[in-house]
């Protein structure tokens, strides 16, 4: 599968609950809430650089697998579907 942050190859990890967990060589291990996944499916996309910086900040604070939610996601835009 592709990483939701950088669009490179990523490995989906086992997750229980309303989130998706990934391991990406560029972005590390992180999770996305079900709400964020739905928004991505509806045409939103994450800002790669800003999201990677946020993930790194979370790891420096001791969070091994940060969770991107609709309240902390750094969005970059929305696709207009015609």
- Structure tokens given for 50: 């800003």
Q: What is the pLDDT of residue 81?
A: 58
Judge if pTM exceeds 0.85. yes
Expressed as residue numbers, the domain containing 38 is 10-71
In a domain, 78, yes or no: no
In a domain, 36, yes or no: yes
**Domain total of the chain:** 1
Q: What is the pLDDT of residue 71?
A: 96
Q: What is the pLDDT of residue 77?
A: 80
d(CA 66, CA 59): 7
In a domain, 1, yes or no: no
In a domain, 66, yes or no: yes
**Residues in the chain with pLDDT values less than 70:** 80-82
In a domain, 25, yes or no: yes
In a domain, 32, yes or no: yes
Query: Taken in order 47, 21, 37, 62, is the CA torsion positive or negative?
Result: negative
In a domain, 50, yes or no: yes
In a domain, 40, yes or no: yes
């Amino acid at each position: 599968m592709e990483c939701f942050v950088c669009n490179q190859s990523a490995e989906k990890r086992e997750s229980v609950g309303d989130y998706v967990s990934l391991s990406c060589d560029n972005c590390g291990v992180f999770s996305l809430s079900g709400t964020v996944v739905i928004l991505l499916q509806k045409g939103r996309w994450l800002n790669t650089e800003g999201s990677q910086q946020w993930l790194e900040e979370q790891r420096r604070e001791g969070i091994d697998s940060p969770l991107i939610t609709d309240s902390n996601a750094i969005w970059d835009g929305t696709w207009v579907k015609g």
